[in-house]
Chain A
Amino acid sequence: MTKPNRRDMFKVGAAAGASMIAASARAAGAPSAPPADNAWSNSLGHGVDSRPYGQPSRFEKNVVRRYIPWLSPTRDADASFTPLQDQPGIITSNGLFFERYHSGRPTINPDQYRLMISGLVRKPLLLTLNDLMRFPSVSHIHFIECPANGATEWPAAQVNSLQLTHGMIGCSVWTGVKLSTLLDEVGVAPDARWIVASGSDGAHMDRSLPLWKCLDDCIIAYGQNGEALRPEQGYPVRLVVPGWQGNVNIKWLRQIEVSKIPAITREETSEYSELLPSGEALGFTWVMDAKSVITFPCPEKPLQGGPGFYEIRGFAWSGRGKVKRVDVSVDGGKTYRPAKLDDPVLSKCLTRFTFPWQWDGKPALIQSRVTDETGYVQPTIVQKHKFWGNDPIYENNSIQTWQILANGKVNNVQLS
């Protein structure tokens, strides 16, 4: 079986296409292996610019954003999830970065785009996209995570998937203008304390942000990973608020209004607030607490190949700064050993970790646990329930347990 068999050769001849060889060999289950050449080595490949905008290999067609159909009545106000099980490094591909819409995704002609900065300022400003791009710029790598990431897993392990339990996060190189640069340019009034950032989607999505954060590290971004922002991410311009919950990173940004008080919008009352079991409501829980998850193995990526060496891999992150350490357990949290952090380790950014594992082929319960530079340690779901109640929506940063079965399959479980 080192070369295509007679039947396959005949098929190729009939199709008169050398590129068919690989496909038909695969269809017949014939391995292409040394010492023979593979079929693609005996033919001329495609020319440059045969695909002016590159695409993943067609064999990667399973690697797509997916959503949970029972979460929302309409796709216009829904979320789709990043396939973290297929993300090798810390950067999320632009085509796979999770989506969250409140009123669908608008189509914006950049020539008609305007950004207004108004309110309690000396010189209100109206900028075109070209105007915005003339200002001094920065380029930083940050994650953006929806606070509802893991929401389905609050009451119990419910969805048997890494993508659908942890995929409302993405990490990109964001390029744009620091918000502080623009606030300096308009001259913020001494009694200003807040901004209200608004998008131009149908929801006119708006959130209030305290001035200190705006002057600290927020970016008015137009670039994402080496190209313009994707429409899914706010083309042509979005706000990036490093380390804070996704929805404050207003997409399709059209206005920054400087004010004395927050607006108490619907998105910071009914939508992205926390109602505790005591009846107390928490209005502003912006920062995403530290979290980690093992991305291999996981329900989508079981152990294939029996007992032996496997590298456990995953991501860790914190909205409060850098990841300090990640510890991995293979016995359900009874003992932990430190994982290796892969460079770069950046603030408010995904950090990759690895952990060498000799699997003995027996059932196991594997976990990762991050500690960030503030000393905060990722909690268990049992610890989370004590403060937040059993079925809130947001802020589920609990330790994830994957159950490894003897056959290598992986299930999402929760432990007492």
Chain B
Amino acid sequence: MSSFLNRLFGAAVLIGVGAHGALAAPPFKPAPIPATDLSTWNAEASDFGKHPVKKPLHVPGFYKIGTAPTPAQITGWTITVYPNGVGLPPGQGTVAQGEKIYGQNCAMCHGTFAEGKNGYPQLVGGVGSLKSATQTKTMGSYWPFANTVWDYINRAMPFYAPHTLKPDQVYALTAYLLNMNGIVHSSFVANAQSLADVKMPDRNGWNWKDPRPATHNIACMSNCARSGTPKITSNAVTMNLTPHLTGPVDHMKNGK
């Protein structure tokens, strides 16, 4: 199976270090995934043993339909970066470079200080807030792995021109946002290895096993209300939050 591993996981190693001939750089080492996370993920794959992997019905290529993609085609479309850093391309970027790119490409939506603006997401802050009454979910406070920052900026941002930034620019933005969140020093240089090694504040806050069913109602048929006559606690008609439900689609431009 080593050839399969090389195709996905090994390839990234070769691309990550070899392509730009960075001979002095140490070889990329995927970051270790916490053992508890890994064992849960493995168990999820078979629904915790309830669905053992089925045997294939045919040998691969049975139908002889379609073509084999070229390595270039596969590389072009395979942009996923995994939590151990596998999939990160060559390149690097500094916090200072990221600040400049952020100002030009991101601040108009996310705010000058990444504080969020006009309903667009806040990117900074909230570290330590998740157990409080005012939970603030940002990449700094909430995201368990740094790969997601690079991956999401690369695939989906900037919003108006997704997947148009160069890897160096994505590295720089990642470095800047991690620094703004107080996770890395202002001298941090983001590259495949340094990002894979970043430990996010909430990495251990995640449960990957679905705890549901988490509510246990019973199909009671009579005398069901525990405290006599049910009391109305809220009524939407008083909230003034409902758009018009007839006529043309209501954009609620007036007064809302």
Bound pair (A, B): yes
A residues adjacent to B (C-beta < 8 A): 62, 64-70, 72-74, 76-77, 102-103, 116, 118-128, 131, 134-135, 152, 156-161, 163-164, 180-181, 183-194, 196, 198, 202-206, 210-213, 215-216, 254-255, 257-266, 269-270, 275, 278-287, 289, 299-300, 325, 327, 329, 332-337, 365, 369, 371, 376-380, 383-384, 386-388, 403, 411-416
18 further interface pairs, Cβ-Cβ under 8 Å (given A216-B51, A287-B212): A103-B162, A123-B68, A126-B66, A194-B45, A198-B79, A202-B163, A211-B53, A212-B45, A260-B9, A275-B142, A281-B202, A281-B206, A281-B207, A327-B221, A333-B224, A335-B222, A365-B230, A414-B233
B99 at the interface (CB under 8 A from A): no
Do A206 and B155 touch across chains, with their CB atoms under 8 A apart?
A: yes
Do B229 and A185 touch across chains, with their CB atoms under 8 A apart?
A: no
Closest beta carbon of chain A to B45's beta carbon, Å: 4
Mark out the residues of chain B between 118 and 164 whose CB falls within 8 Å of any chain A CB in the assembled complex.
118-121, 130-131, 135, 137, 139, 142-145, 147-148, 151-152, 155-156, 159, 162-163
Closest beta carbon of chain A to B166's beta carbon, Å: 16
Partner of B234 from the list A181, A188, A386, A413 (CB cut-off 8 Å) is A413
Do A335 and B221 touch across chains, with their CB atoms under 8 A apart?
A: yes
Do A266 and B230 touch across chains, with their CB atoms under 8 A apart?
A: no
Interface size on B, residues (CB 8 A): 108
B25 at the interface (CB under 8 A from A): no
Do B119 and A72 touch across chains, with their CB atoms under 8 A apart?
A: yes
Chain A proximity mask over B64-95: 1 for CB below 8 Å, otherwise 0? 01111100011001111111100000000000
Partner of A118 from the list B1, B78, B137 (CB cut-off 8 Å) is B78
Partner of B84 from the list A64, A121, A261 (CB cut-off 8 Å) is A261
Q: Which partner residue on chain B sits nearest A269 by CB separation?
A: B143
Do B77 and A254 touch across chains, with their CB atoms under 8 A apart?
A: yes
Do B83 and A264 touch across chains, with their CB atoms under 8 A apart?
A: yes
In the assembled complex, the Cα of A2 lies from the Cα of B145 at a distance in Å of 74
Closest beta carbon of chain B to A235's beta carbon, Å: 19
The main secondary structure of chain B at its interface with chain A is: loop
Do A266 and B152 touch across chains, with their CB atoms under 8 A apart?
A: yes
Q: Which partner residue on chain B sits nearest A409 by CB separation?
A: B237
Do A287 and B210 touch across chains, with their CB atoms under 8 A apart?
A: yes
Contacts of A369 in B (CB 8 A): 217, 219
Partner of A184 from the list B60, B213, B253 (CB cut-off 8 Å) is B60
Do B151 and A377 touch across chains, with their CB atoms under 8 A apart?
A: no
In the assembled complex, the Cα of A144 lies from the Cα of B109 at a distance in Å of 31
In the assembled complex, the Cα of A134 lies from the Cα of B62 at a distance in Å of 13
Contacts of B63 in A (CB 8 A): 134-135, 185
Contacting chain A: which of B16-24, B177-185, B244-252? B244-252
In the assembled complex, the Cα of A127 lies from the Cα of B63 at a distance in Å of 12
Closest beta carbon of chain A to B173's beta carbon, Å: 14
In the assembled complex, the Cα of A376 lies from the Cα of B59 at a distance in Å of 40
In the assembled complex, the Cα of A337 lies from the Cα of B222 at a distance in Å of 9
Partner of A286 from the list B41, B84, B121, B210 (CB cut-off 8 Å) is B210
Chain A proximity mask over B187-216: 1 for CB below 8 Å, otherwise 0? 000000000000000100111111111111
Do B8 and A193 touch across chains, with their CB atoms under 8 A apart?
A: no
Do A69 and B250 touch across chains, with their CB atoms under 8 A apart?
A: yes
Do B250 and A116 touch across chains, with their CB atoms under 8 A apart?
A: no
Closest beta carbon of chain B to A382's beta carbon, Å: 9
B44 at the interface (CB under 8 A from A): yes
Do B67 and A126 touch across chains, with their CB atoms under 8 A apart?
A: yes
Partner of B256 from the list A69, A156, A183, A365 (CB cut-off 8 Å) is A69
Closest beta carbon of chain B to A330's beta carbon, Å: 12
Closest beta carbon of chain B to A222's beta carbon, Å: 14
Contacts of B66 in A (CB 8 A): 125-128, 131
Contacts of B46 in A (CB 8 A): 193, 210-212
Contacts of A206 in B (CB 8 A): 80, 155
Do B230 and A415 touch across chains, with their CB atoms under 8 A apart?
A: yes
Closest beta carbon of chain B to A166's beta carbon, Å: 13
| 8 chain-A/chain-B pairs, Cβ below 8 angstroms | A125-B69, A161-B242, A164-B242, A210-B45, A282-B210, A336-B219, A412-B237, A413-B234
Closest beta carbon of chain B to A289's beta carbon, Å: 7
Nearest 3 Cβ contacts at the A-B interface:
A187-B60, A73-B119, A193-B45
In the assembled complex, the Cα of A392 lies from the Cα of B224 at a distance in Å of 27
Do A120 and B252 touch across chains, with their CB atoms under 8 A apart?
A: no
Q: Which partner residue on chain A sits nearest B61 by CB separation?
A: A123
In the assembled complex, the Cα of A189 lies from the Cα of B45 at a distance in Å of 14
Known: A126-B73, A191-B5. A70 touches B256 (CB 8 A): yes
Partner of A269 from the list B144, B211, B218 (CB cut-off 8 Å) is B144
Do A159 and B156 touch across chains, with their CB atoms under 8 A apart?
A: no
Contacts of A269 in B (CB 8 A): 142-145, 148
Do A120 and B7 touch across chains, with their CB atoms under 8 A apart?
A: yes
